[in-house]
Amino acid sequence: MIHSRNRRLRVNESIRGLVRENNLTTNDFVMPIFVMEGENKEEPIASMPGIFRRSIDLTVKECKELFSLGVKAVNLYMKVSEHLKDNTGKEAWNKDGLMQNTIRAIKDAVPEMIIMPDVALDPYSIYGHDGIIENGKIMNDATNDALARMSVSHAEAGADIVAPSDMMDGRVQTIREALEDSGFTDVGILSYAAKYASSFYGPFRSALDSAPKDNMEIPKDKKTYQMDFHNSREALNEVFKDIDEGADIIMIKPGLPYLDIVSKVREAIDLPIAVYNVSGEYAMVKAAAQNGWLDNDKTIIESLTCFKRAGADMIFTYFAKEAAILLNR
């Protein structure tokens, strides 16, 4: 006779909900947003159905809707005009730049929205790299100084948390010291501590035209600073260093193919963990759903819940708005 039957706790939805270990809510989501120059402009991103580049006025409108749905944080990316790009990234700390004006506009319209601007030079670089290039090499320390200026500029505009995604060594400490010296002691740092050189970023790079340029004199990819996807122990090394340097939240990117890294880091640290459900993951689900190979709504909720189960506290996802609508039902 069987005395222990696990199926007793799966008999119906009520009891399954009662014993459920992880639950997804709108508080878990951060919505990445692409911003472009202009007014009343919206451009669809072909490789990411349902995602758009928008001008500041329409971005503000979108943020109002997101907040009303319960999505209380956004991650900002700029589509920078070509004539503003160079090898220094100086447009990134222009007090009247597109990012700074976007931060102010969102804060004015939705004061309680948490704004996390991306901190990296690739959208501002003529080379499409996250760092300043000299003699064909990415210059780590010079890039850190630029990222610090960028972060302070974001804080001055009203950012709540800066999110360095560049993977330069020591940049968290440089940014933290710059924020402290400028009086922004309450501005947090969400560090992309374990960001892998991944093929899953393709749609994102096409959205911002931020892929490394085809130039024989510069690195053809980002593998000299982003992590090797073959490695996992290295992720803990990166995470511990960023915590020591003053990171408040740790990011792991990409997401679904890297749940083992999320779990490993969760076991090792107590700080909040963010995970990025990246553009390639989004595009794959959308393509399969459009072809009738997957149930769109069920796959979204299952995928996002898996991040929670692995140990993530927050999820950067292009599904944030869609998932919020589903959960609010």
Q: Are 296 and 271 in contact, with CB atoms under 8 Å apart?
A: no
Counting every residue written for the chain, the total comes to: 329
Q: What is the dihedral of CA 8, 13, 19, 24, to 10 degrees?
A: 150
Handedness of CA 105, 94, 159, 157 (dihedral sign): negative
Q: Quickly tell me which residue has 């459920």 as its tokens.
A: 20
Which one of 85, 107, 253, 308 is the catalytic residue? Answer: 253
Is 238 among the annotated ligand-binding positions? Answer: yes
Comparing CA positions, the residue from 46, 49, 53, 47 lying closest to residue 32 is: 53
Q: Are 122 and 129 in contact, with CB atoms under 8 Å apart?
A: yes
The answer to whether 195 is a known catalytic residue is yes
Q: Which residues of 129-144 are buried (b: 16+ CB within 10 A; e: fewer)?
A: bbbbbeeeebbbeebb
The three state secondary structure string of 276-319 is EECHHHHHHHHHHHHCCCCCHHHHHHHHHHHHHHHCCCEEEECC
Which one of 195, 222, 286, 321 is the catalytic residue? Answer: 195
Helix (H, G, I), strand (E, B) or coil at 139: strand
The contacts of residue 273 (CB under 8 Å, 6+ apart) are 249, 250, 251, 252, 262, 265, 266, 311, 312, 313, 314
**DSSP assigned state of 126:** T
The answer to whether 253 is a known catalytic residue is yes
Q: Are 147 and 164 in contact, with CB atoms under 8 Å apart?
A: yes
Residue 304: phi and psi, rounded to 5, are: -65, -35
Comparing CA positions, the residue from 150, 155, 154, 59 lying closest to residue 110 is: 59
- 287's tokens: 């393509």
Helix (H, G, I), strand (E, B) or coil at 191: strand
- Annotated binding-site residues for Mg(2+) read 238
Catalytic residues: 195, 253
